[in-house]
Amino acid sequence: MLQITDLVKRYGAGEPVLKNLDLKIEGESIVSIIGSSGAGKSTLLRCINKLVEPTSGSIVLNGTELTALKGHALREARRKIGMVFQGFNLVDRLTVMENVQSGRLGYISSWAAIMRRYPKDDIRHAYELMERVGIAHYANKRADELSGGERQRVGVVRALMQRPEILLADEPTASLDPKTSEQIMQLLRDLSKELKLPVLINIHNVAEAREYTDRIVGMRYGRIIFDGLPGELVPEAMEEIYAGVPSQDRQQGTAPSAALKAAT
């Protein structure tokens, strides 16, 4: 279970990006976070895996208080948090297998990683996961030879190689065409159920959030102002989350109007 309590993130002396935020995620549910640009969605995910340091508050993952960790203890805790990125974050010159095995860097020695001496169990598990997501036949292909959807599947497998206790996805479909986006969202949904893995997705496309996630969290100006089932996201709730954003932009994930962006 992920338990976030009274979370605040402030950059410098400005207005906090996250304001006394509370959120609980448990079980194998897949939860989406929606909201306009500047709402704090990406900052929330980066606070959870401590890519940025929270200003105050508590983040507890299965009994471990993440905000208090430093050094080796923090590195060990990060093993339990898988991360899928919008821009894939692959090393283009490396093969698919080598990129996938980077998900095990927290578990093997530096020498083994440099020499690419991966444990046999890790190689076997990588092939199993790659087979599951349909990229096993690309194991020895360079990452820069793949399509966007294939690259994102590599990113998903890399995250799963950590054997995480929660999977975070920061706009995982933003760089993909509509059909591929749907395939990736369905894949994340299926894997969440199969692996009994909670998944937290920051997403702009409200239609995909409604279709593929079990619960939707709406953010505005660093606060959670909606938390419910997809069917409960009625027009009034949408208006509160996206006040001033054209409805077409909400569905397609495009940037909000200049006026709203300036306000956030």
Categorize the per-residue pLDDT at 260 as very low, low, confident or very high, splitting at 50, 70 and 90: very low
pLDDT of 262 > 50? The answer is no
Residue 195 maps to a domain: yes
- Percentage of the residues of the chain whose pLDDT score is greater than 90: 73
Look over the chain and give the mean of its residue pLDDT values, rounded to a whole number: 89
- Residue 257 is predicted with a pLDDT of 36
For 2, phi and psi rounded to 5 degrees?
-105, 125
Question: Is 153 in contact with 137 (CB distance < 8 Å)?
Answer: no
Give this prediction's pTM. Answer: 0.87
The encoded tokens of residue 68 equal 């208090």
Residue 77 has pLDDT above 80, yes or no: yes
| pLDDT over 70, % of the chain | 92
pLDDT at 245: 59
What would the mean pLDDT of 240-254 be, rounded to a whole number? 63
Question: Any idea what DSSP says for residue 92?
Answer: T
pLDDT tens for each residue of 131-169: 999 999 999 999 999 999 999 999 999 999 999 999 999
| pLDDT tens digits for range 199-234 | 999 999 999 999 999 999 999 999 999 999 999 999
Evaluate whether residue 118 is within a structural domain. Answer: yes
Tokens for 196? 């009994």
Q: What is the DSSP letter of 255?
A: P
Q: What is the pLDDT of residues 92-131, one digit of tens each?
A: 999 999 999 999 887 777 777 777 788 899 999 999 999 9
Q: From CA 238, how far away is CA 206, in angstroms rounded?
A: 9
In a domain, 89, yes or no: yes
Give the tens place of pLDDT for each residue, 176-193. Answer: 999 999 999 999 999 999
C-alpha distances out from residue 71 to 119, 143, 205, Å = 25, 31, 36
CATH code, 169? 3.40.50.300
Number of Cβ atoms within 10 Å of the Cβ of 32: 25
Asked if residue 7 is part of any domain, the answer here is: no
pLDDT band at 246 (very low <50, low <70, confident <90, very high): low
Angular region, 244: left φ>0, alpha ψ -120 to 50, beta rest: left
Angle, in degrees to the nearest 10, between helices 148-160 and 178-195: 20
**Nearest-angstrom CA–CA distance, 177 and 95:** 24
Query: What is the spatial distance between Cα 146 and Cα 154, in angstroms, rounded to a whole number?
Result: 10
Give alpha helix (H) positions in 134-176: 148-160
Residue 251: the pLDDT is 52
Structural domain span for residue 235? 27-53+72-263
Q: Does residue 67 sit within a domain?
A: no
| Averaged pLDDT for residues 16-25 | 95
Provide the sign of the torsion angle of the four alpha carbons 172, 173, 176, 182, taken in this order: positive
Q: What is the mean pLDDT of residues 7-36?
A: 93
Q: How many domains does the chain have?
A: 1
Residue 11: inside a domain: no
Residue whose C-alpha is closest to residue 158's, from 86, 87, 84: 84
Residue 17 lies in a domain: no
Are 247 and 206 contacting, i.e. CB atoms less than 8 angstroms apart? no
Residue closest to 141 by CA, chosen among 184, 88, 100, 181: 100
> Is residue 234 domain-resident?
yes
Report whether pLDDT(258) > 80. no
| Mean pLDDT of the region 35-63 | 93
Helix (H) or strand (E) holding 82: strand 81-84
Indicate the DSSP class of residue 222.
Answer: T
